[in-house]
Structure 1
């Protein structure tokens, strides 16, 4: 009986923690038609919102970041270690948020149709 009570107490504490934890909705939204890079606190700075196709050099974007692809029509993006869209990853076309990765070696993004 004691194990059940302890388990229920633990579950209620976990449930309370989940309810109090900020969700994805607390983060800044990425505008429709854009690719955005989130700051580590979840905000999106204007300089990290990209609308136009082609290469975009990044300025002072380091550490683990989440990229949001909110483009329409199946458009995608590539992450590049070189400036001006050189030495790039494959194209990512899925919309939504991507898992955080270390952006320290990433120096540009390329938006593709």
Structure 2
């Protein structure tokens, strides 16, 4: 994430104000209303951005990955060992980044209202 930078410099008795606004890098930001799975390098592939409630089967998602919950209204997610959204964890509702899950045995993710 880029941090805001405000630099004030005196130039021959005058003051210049330069501001760089923070910008979310589209490759690493999870859009509002979605649940995302980050790649090991921190990027988020479009195939790993989920908006609709229900289960989503995963393909080629292995190793330790961070899940980001950017859903609104208290919506949550579950990670599941089986395809089809079965054999799942309990619902997680807080927004933000979660500690990495080992996705090697995980085959689906479920978005819940």
Aligned length: 89
* Structure in which a larger fraction of residues adopt helix: 1
Computed over aligned residues only, the root mean square deviation of the Cα atoms, in angstroms, reads 1.2
Match of 2:29 in 1: 29
Unaligned runs of 5+ in 2: 1-23
Deviation readout 1:23-77 (Å, 9 max, x if unpaired): xx77710000000000000000000000000000001000000000000000000
* Structure in which a larger fraction of residues adopt strand: 2
* Moved >4 Å (runs of 4+): none
TM (norm. structure 1) is: 0.76
Residue 101 of structure 1 deviates from its aligned partner by 1.7
Unaligned runs of 5+ in 1: 1-24
Match of 2:16 in 1: none
